[in-house]
Amino acid sequence: VSVPVPFFHAGERAEEAAWLAALNAATDAFEVRPGRDMRAEDLARTEVAIVANPDPADLARLARLRWVQSLWAGVERLVGELQGVGIVRLVDPQLGRTMAEAVLAWVLYLHRDMPRYAAQQRARIWRPHEPVPASGRTVGILGLGHLGRCAAERLRANGFAVAGWSRTPKEAMAFETYAGAQGLADLLGRADIAVVLLPLTADTRGLLDAARLGQMKPGGCLVNFARGPIVDTDALVAALDAGRLGHAVLDVFATEPLPPGDPLWSHDRITVLPHISAPTHMTTAAGIVAANIAEFLKDGTIPETVDRGRGY
């Protein structure tokens, strides 16, 4: 009989069932079961759990819990709620490819003036605009973790000029990078399109406020594929309304789903997306999660966990 590993998933039952099937198909080394269906003594004994937006009260019952494996890359809620337990983020090469594709797709959307041509179509206006070569657009990537680096590489392969920013200096990147507070001002002042791929931490919450948005190149565009609270939405709307910035593509919001009454929906310089830039790919993610846990059960190895000081 195989070891039961609890799964705590706060979402739709159908999605939970799909994850359970994918996880159990990925391994024979253990059995993934919904936490709520496990006996109290099994829960008290487990040292590892798989989580997707879990209820903290459920995890508090796991007396011997040493680490949790998240099904997502963003773990800001877990960091806040879960003390004394290692948190392992999902690092999925497939996710990197999907995010790189999303960044490329919406950078091309802005680069090739799609919002403007859509507005002209609605007004039945035939008006070509002067093309700009990709090499004439600088895309600034905020956040140079796995996803940021994948996006930067993909943009470079498609001819864009790329520059990156991270909290601390990075070595040996194939493109220009900036770090720290002054570095962010420099990058924002250069980028025609700024793409946010930062984790949400105490440092990044509200990072792109009125002052930072004011440092952006006039007419610049913003893409947020990370977390809503990194951008001050009121300040963004003000900058767009004033014509200081060109357009924003927002895939993430402080409240999701974005409420139907939110004015962002109808802003003609904002493209609203329902958090679709890089959905977790169940099959590859399940394989990675299963391999991590199988290795732990075999020899006690825990994958790299989140640095609580940094928050990611």
Interaction site with a copy of itself (CB under 8 A): 94, 97-98, 101-102, 104-105, 108-109, 111-114, 117-118, 120-121, 124, 126-129, 131, 133-134, 154, 157-159, 256-258, 260, 265-266, 271-276, 279, 281
- The structure tokens listed for 9 are 């998933």
Nearest distance from residue 118's CB to a copy of itself, in Å? 7
Nearest distance from residue 115's CB to a copy of itself, in Å? 9
Q: What angle separates helix 93-111 from helix 146-157, to the nearest 10 degrees? A: 50
Nearest CB to a copy of itself, comparing residues 48 and 99: 99
DSSP 39-64: -HHHHHH-SEEEEES--HHHHHT-TT
Nearest distance from residue 12's CB to a copy of itself, in Å? 12
Q: How far apart are CA 191 and CA 53, in angstroms?
A: 34
Nearest CB to a copy of itself, comparing residues 31 and 101: 101
Nearest CB to a copy of itself, comparing residues 130 and 171: 130
Residue 275 is among the residues annotated as catalytic for this protein: yes
Among 137, 154, 167, 227, the active-site one is 227
Strands 3-9 and 161-166: unpaired
Backbone phi and psi for residue 7, each to the nearest 5 degrees, phi listed first: -120, 120
Query: Could you tell me how far CA 127 lies from the centroid of its own chain?
Result: 36
Residue 264, Cβ density class (10 Å: 0-12 exposed, 13-18 middle, ≥19 buried)? middle
Q: What angle separates helix 282-299 from helix 93-111, to the nearest 10 degrees? A: 150
Among 275, 281, 308, 310, the active-site one is 275
Residue 227 is among the residues annotated as catalytic for this protein: yes
Nearest distance from residue 286's CB to a copy of itself, in Å? 16
Nearest CB to a copy of itself, comparing residues 85 and 117: 117
Nearest CB to a copy of itself, comparing residues 41 and 126: 126
Nearest distance from residue 14's CB to a copy of itself, in Å? 13
Q: How far apart are CA 192 and CA 218, in angstroms?
A: 8
DSSP 252-296: --SSSSPPTT-GGGG-TTEEE--S-SS---HHHHHHHHHHHHHHH
Catalytic residues: 227, 275
